[in-house]
């Protein structure tokens, strides 16, 4: 170790570049950030990915935005005519424009847009952006939920009353079996990758379901190479084997799911007390007591059945005498089993490509190696059937009985903190105006999220009303989302657009005002809990500002508070005093801001995990689940009422070889995509240390598929879909199905230091993968876009030009 290195200040920190939030030690020398390395004493610090290790390159990159700028030429011009302005002019302009739009057209006509906090440092400021948006009065915020979060957070709220698996985190440390489905933590959350390796050393089994043999799939006991988009059929097939062979927790299903509740054959609705007697309760359900041979009432408010020790039927068909006459009814679990029965292992192999034996062996491992800890990621969410995929896997998980059990998926306790998102500032009248709510009432809009497609429609088609303004933090819609051409048209049509970022990306280039943001290493960041375990959640850490901001860059939090004060919301933002806001947020925890500054490694608060909290009783009433029945809901009447299948039935990808045989001749290959371990979505391709390792956009294909098209490894090829074409370099992957190819999104940025070119976001030389995926075939519940399951053809670029 050199003397210079020895003299560098070593600062406890954490890397905020992605959801892993890895604990780290930063080296600072003479006021310059020089290195970031893992901090094994931190609960997420066992390793640090290459993105974190080269963080100094991000901070000191020559292309960083350093000053506020305004456009001086019309949108669409090749040269926007950017002109440097002061912060005062920038903030005054933004406040004046947004206020004018709100006064003339209503605050709902301004959409707030952020990058996903899973793949950016926006976790520092996300809650504050939401607070600003609600203070402004807009119900519309796009956070990529339809692409990054729906399946793992919100879809299973309808089944479990909680986000599964991401709100109920996998207890990897105590798991007997780990199930990663569409999730590669080596790329997405390295803290989970290191914890999984440790768990395997302690005897845990690992199942990985992924079209690619990548990351921890190489360490798996079972790797299931599922056809992209067919995951729902595989889940139902696994459930069928488990139910058929009795490999499920019968007591959990009977006591804690709505499996015993009777469904009317004539209406598909639950049988209610009022059906038997007009004076009965419309809120009570009925189940069949096999011992007494009659229907017994279940009342959600009491969380109990009318008959003690009833032997509740899970299977069968029963004729119940109602006020209108006899009605045939079956338990919800019977209907669930019948649905799953349509997906026996042979049918699963036909639909998914997963062999019969692997289906059975995997189902057996899920049962025999319990407790099961489960995690999913965007591989399942970027599908045209994303909602029912998530619910079908939730069904499998419910069969294990491991929800909130030690070693399963656990609702870990968290340090107390004040809710600072400003929910009280947005009226119900404004919430009702959320984009997409009328079309997809159970989708992201119900949970305070809007999709990019709905945003574009409101801008261009004025449906359901005209959106005129956009406030964007760190997002790159035109590269990170589908239908980029329509997106560009929409962003150019805005009356006003302000964009906050580190770099001038293709989306920022359409803005009227661009504001420079700091990297997370140039600003403080408060993290209350690190989510992955009880130990991780007990840590509160105020990430120290390592170095002074470059140029005039400000943190996202500072920009939010500055804008709030300019807009007249200062009283709701502690008159711009961020320290006062942090003290308010921390107050319930008992941890002071001063103690966090004195202890940059963080302060731990005592937490105690209680398992199976749904069984806890208050005044002899069990807590249960936050669903209409207070049970885990296999069968959803909420879905039925909105015209969706109440059970998570499988639907083929809407643009696939089975659903669109008319496209098969021209587009015979299945197109999916995956993250590159070196980059965060569309970020960081300008960093030399990363770009040297992956200089060009690549598309993976099987050698046999390449040979059939006269493609050699390293050839430039065209990826062509019904929506367009983009280019990439061919890379061979013998583990892929020969009918599947896997691309990468996010390519646009140049890296002049190593003469690596940029790629036009649009046009014939574009490498913008998401250009070739449209918004025309989306999940009917969530609006999720099938970035992971489409159709395509691959052609050698030179052959095309010949």
pLDDT at 495 over 50: yes
- Do 719 and 766 contact (CB within 8 A), yes or no? no
Q: Out of 253-262, 273-282, 335-344, 554-563, pick the least confident.
A: 273-282
Segment holding 170, helix H or strand E: strand 169-170
Q: Where are the alpha helices (DSSP H) in 604-724?
A: 637-641, 688-691, 703-707
pLDDT at 475 > cutoff 50: yes
State what percent of residues in the chain have pLDDT above 90: 96
The pLDDT of 476-483, averaged and rounded, is: 96
pLDDT, average across residues 445-469: 98
To 5 degrees, how large is the angle CA 215–CA 218–CA 224?
Answer: 95
Distance CA 434, CA 20 (A): 31
Residue 802, pLDDT > 80, answer: no
pLDDT over threshold 90, residue 530: yes
Question: What are the pLDDT digits (tens) for 364-378?
Answer: 999 999 999 999 999
Question: Quick check: pTM over 0.95?
Answer: yes
Indicate whether 2 pLDDT > 60: no
Under a CB-based contact definition with an 8 Å cutoff, are residues 377 and 674 in contact? Answer: no
Other Cβ atoms less than 10 A from the Cβ of 184: the count is 22
Contact in structure between 150 and 782 (CB atoms under 8 Å): yes
Backbone conformation region of residue 679, classed left if phi is above 0, alpha if psi is from -120 to 50, else beta: beta
Task: Report the sign of the C-alpha dihedral through residues 441, 443, 447, 453, in that order.
Answer: negative
- pLDDT band of residue 7 (cuts 50, 70, 90) is confident
Of 439, 401, 584, 503, the residue nearest 592 (C-alpha) = 584
- Using alpha carbons, select from 444, 440, 380, 361 the residue that is nearest to residue 233: 380
Reduced to 3 states (helix: H, G, I; strand: E, B; else coil), residue 254 is helix
Q: What is the mean pLDDT of residues 796-800?
A: 78
Average pLDDT of the segment spanning 53-68? 98
Q: How confident is the model at residue 799 (pLDDT cuts 50, 70, 90)?
A: low
How far apart are the C-alpha atoms of 529 and 541, rounded to whole Å?
A: 8
Token pair, residue 147, equals 């692409």
The confidence band for 778, taking pLDDT boundaries of 50, 70 and 90, is very high
Pairing of strands 141-142, 110-114: parallel
Determine the Cα–Cα distance for residues 477 and 486; give it in Å rounded to an integer. Answer: 11
Cα dist from 765 to 150, 587, 755, 797, whole Å: 33, 54, 17, 11
Residues 6+ apart with CB under 8 A from 540: 415, 526, 527, 528, 529, 586, 589, 591, 596, 602, 603, 604, 605
CA 612 vs CA 121, 177, 625: distances in Å:
33, 18, 11
DSSP 3-state percent helix, strand, coil across the chain (nearest 5):
35, 20, 45
Quote the pLDDT of residue 801. Answer: 53
* 201 and 189 Cβ atoms separated by less than 8 Å: no
Handedness of CA 285, 255, 152, 142 (dihedral sign): positive
Q: How high is the pLDDT of residue 308?
A: 77
Report the alpha-carbon distance of residue 525 to residue 585 in Å, rounded: 13
- pLDDT band with cut points at 50, 70 and 90 for residue 800: low
Type and span of the H or E element at 724: strand 724-732
Q: How far apart are CA 588 and CA 566, in angstroms?
A: 29
Query: How far is residue 316's CA from residue 605's CA, in Å, rounded to a whole number?
Result: 51
Exposed, middle or buried, 173 (CB in 10 Å: 0-12/13-18/19+)? middle
Residues near 142 by beta carbon (within 8 Å), at least 6 away in sequence? 111, 112, 113, 114, 449, 450, 451, 452, 455, 475, 477
Judge contact between 682 and 505, C-beta under 8 A.
Answer: yes
Q: How far apart are CA 305 and CA 184, in angstroms?
A: 43
Report, as an integer, the average pLDDT of 619-635.
Answer: 96
| CA angle (129, 448, 131) in 5-degree steps | 25
183 contacts 375 by C-beta, under 8 angstroms = yes
The greatest distance separating any two alpha carbons of the chain, rounded to the nearest whole angstrom, comes to 90
**Helix extents (H) in 319-439:** 332-341, 345-352, 356-368, 378-381, 386-400, 428-431
**Predicted pLDDT at 766:** 97
Supply the DSSP symbol for 626: S
Predicted local confidence at residue 636, as pLDDT: 98
Residue 483: partners with Cβ closer than 8 Å, 6 or more residues away = 452, 453, 456, 723, 770, 771, 773, 774, 775
Q: How far apart are CA 150 and CA 447, in angstroms?
A: 10
- The whole-angstrom separation of Cα 139 and Cα 436 is 11
Q: What is the mean pLDDT of residues 70-85?
A: 95
**What mean pLDDT is reported for the chain?**
96
Q: Which band of pLDDT confidence, cut at 50, 70 and 90, is reported for residue 232?
A: very high
Look at residue 254 in the predicted model and tell me its pLDDT: 97
Q: Would the pLDDT of 394 be above 60?
A: yes
pLDDT band with cut points at 50, 70 and 90 for residue 5: very low
Task: Please state, in angstroms and rounded to a whole number, the distance separating the CA atoms of residues 278 and 318.
Answer: 21
* 459, pLDDT greater than 90: yes
Question: 608 to each of 195, 415, 537, 602, how far by Cα in Å?
Answer: 20, 10, 10, 19
Residues 6 or more apart whose Cβ sits within 8 Å of residue 555: 124, 125, 517, 518, 522, 523, 524, 549
Which tens digits make up the pLDDT trace of 168-204?
999 999 999 999 999 999 999 999 999 999 999 999 9
CA distance 634 to 325: 27
3-class secondary structure, 497: strand
Q: What is the torsion angle, in degrees rounded to the nearest 10, for the CA atoms of residue 80, residue 84, residue 88 and residue 92?
A: -10
Q: CA-CA distances (angstroms) from residue 597 to 30, 44, 577, 580, 600?
A: 21, 20, 16, 14, 6
Average pLDDT of span 321-328: 95
Q: What is the DSSP string of 561-575?
A: HHHHHHTT-GGGGGG
More confident residue, 676 or 370: 370
Phi, psi of 783 (to 5 degrees): 80, 10
């Amino acid at each position: 170790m050199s003397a210079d290195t020895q003299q560098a200040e070593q600062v406890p920190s954490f890397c905020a570049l992605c959801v892993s939030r890895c604990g780290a030690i930063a080296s600072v020398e003479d006021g310059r950030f020089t290195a970031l390395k893992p901090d094994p004493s931190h609960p997420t610090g066992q390793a640090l990915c290459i993105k974190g290790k080269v963080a100094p390159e991000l901070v000191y990159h020559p292309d960083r935005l350093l000053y506020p700028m305004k456009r001086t030429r019309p949108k669409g011009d090749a040269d926007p005519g950017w002109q440097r302005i002061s912060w005062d002019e920038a903030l005054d302009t933004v406040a004046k424009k947004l206020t004018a739009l709100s006064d003339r057209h209503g605050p709902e006509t301004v959409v707030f847009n952020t990058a996903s906090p899973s793949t950016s440092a926006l976790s520092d400021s996300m809650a504050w952006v939401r607070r600003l948006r609600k203070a402004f009065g807009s119900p519309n915020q796009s956070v990529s939920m339809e692409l990054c979060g729906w399946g793992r957070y919100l879809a299973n709220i309808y089944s479990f009353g909680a986000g599964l698996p991401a709100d109920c985190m996998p207890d990897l440390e105590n798991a007997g079996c780990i199930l990663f489905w569409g999730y590669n933590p080596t790329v997405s959350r390295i803290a989970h990758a290191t914890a999984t390796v440790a768990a395997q050393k302690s005897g845990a089994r690992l199942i990985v379901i992924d079209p690619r043999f990548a990351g921890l799939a190489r360490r798996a006991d079972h790797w299931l190479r599922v056809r992209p988009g067919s995951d729902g059929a595989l889940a139902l097939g696994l459930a069928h084997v488990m139910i058929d062979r009795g490999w499920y927790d019968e007591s959990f299903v009977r006591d804690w799911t709505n499996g015993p509740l009777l469904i009317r054959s004539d209406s598909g609705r639950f049988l209610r007390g009022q059906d038997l007697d007009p004076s009965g309760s419309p809120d009570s359900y009925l189940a069949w007591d096999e011992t007494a041979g009659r229907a017994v009432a279940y009342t959600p408010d009491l969380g109990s059945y009318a008959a003690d020790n009833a032997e509740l039927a899970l299977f069968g068909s029963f004729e119940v005498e109602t006020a209108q006459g006899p009605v045939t009814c079956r338990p919800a679990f019977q209907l669930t089993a019948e649905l799953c029965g349509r997906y026996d292992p042979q049918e699963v192999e036909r639909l998914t490509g997963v062999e019969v034996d692997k289906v059975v062996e995997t189902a057996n491992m899920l049962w025999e190696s319990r407790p099961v800890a489960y995690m999913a990621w965007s591989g399942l969410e970027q599908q045209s059937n994303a909602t029912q995929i998530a619910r079908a896997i939730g069904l499998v998980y419910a069969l294990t009985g491991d929800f909130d059990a030690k070693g399963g998926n656990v609702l870990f306790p968290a340090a107390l903190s004040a809710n600072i998102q400003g929910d009280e500032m947005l009226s119900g009248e404004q919430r009702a105006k959320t984009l997409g709510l009328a079309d997809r009432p159970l989708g992201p809009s119900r949970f305070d999220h809007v999709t990019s497609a709905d945003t574009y429609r409101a801008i261009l088609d004025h449906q359901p009303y005209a959106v005129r303004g956009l406030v964007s933090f760190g997002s790159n819609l035109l590269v990170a989302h589908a239908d980029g051409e329509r997106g560009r048209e929409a962003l150019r049509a805005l009356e006003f657009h302000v964009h906050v970022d580190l770099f001038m990306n293709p989306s920022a280039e359409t803005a009227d005002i661009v504001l420079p943001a700091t990297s997370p290493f140039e600003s403080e960041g408060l993290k209350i809990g690190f989510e992955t375990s009880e130990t991780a959640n007990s840590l509160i850490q105020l990430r120290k500002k390592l170095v002074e901001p470059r140029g005039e860059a400000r943190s996202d939090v500072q920009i939010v508070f500055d804008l709030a004060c300019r807009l007249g919301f200062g009283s709701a933002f502690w008159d711009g005093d961020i320290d006062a806001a942090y003290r308010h947020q921390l107050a319930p925890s008992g941890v002071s801001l001063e103690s966090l500054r004195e202890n940059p490694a963080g302060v731990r608060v005592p937490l105690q995990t209680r398992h199976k909290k749904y069984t806890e009783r208050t005044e002899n009433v069990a807590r249960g689940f936050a669903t209409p029945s207070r049970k885990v809901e296999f069968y959803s009447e909420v879905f039925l009422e909105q015209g969706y299948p109440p059970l998570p039935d499988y639907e083929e990808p809407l643009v696939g070889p089975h659903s669109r045989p008319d496209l098969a001749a021209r587009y015979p290959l299945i197109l999916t995509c995956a993250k590159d371990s070196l980059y965060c979505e569309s970020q960081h391709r300008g960093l030399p240390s990363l770009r040297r390792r992956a200089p060009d956009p690549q598309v993976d294909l099987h050698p046999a598929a390449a040979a059939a098209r006269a493609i050699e490894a390293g050839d430039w090829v065209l990826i062509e879909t019904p929506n367009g074409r983009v280019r990439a370099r061919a890379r061979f992957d013998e583990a892929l199905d020969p009918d599947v190819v896997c691309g990468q999104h996010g390519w646009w940025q140049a890296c002049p230091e190593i003469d690596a070119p940029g790629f036009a976001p649009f046009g014939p030389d574009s490498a913008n993968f998401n250009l070739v995926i449209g918004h025309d075939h989306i999940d009917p519940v969530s609006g999720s876009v099938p970035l992971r399951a489409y159709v395509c053809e691959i052609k050698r670029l030179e052959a095309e030009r010949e």
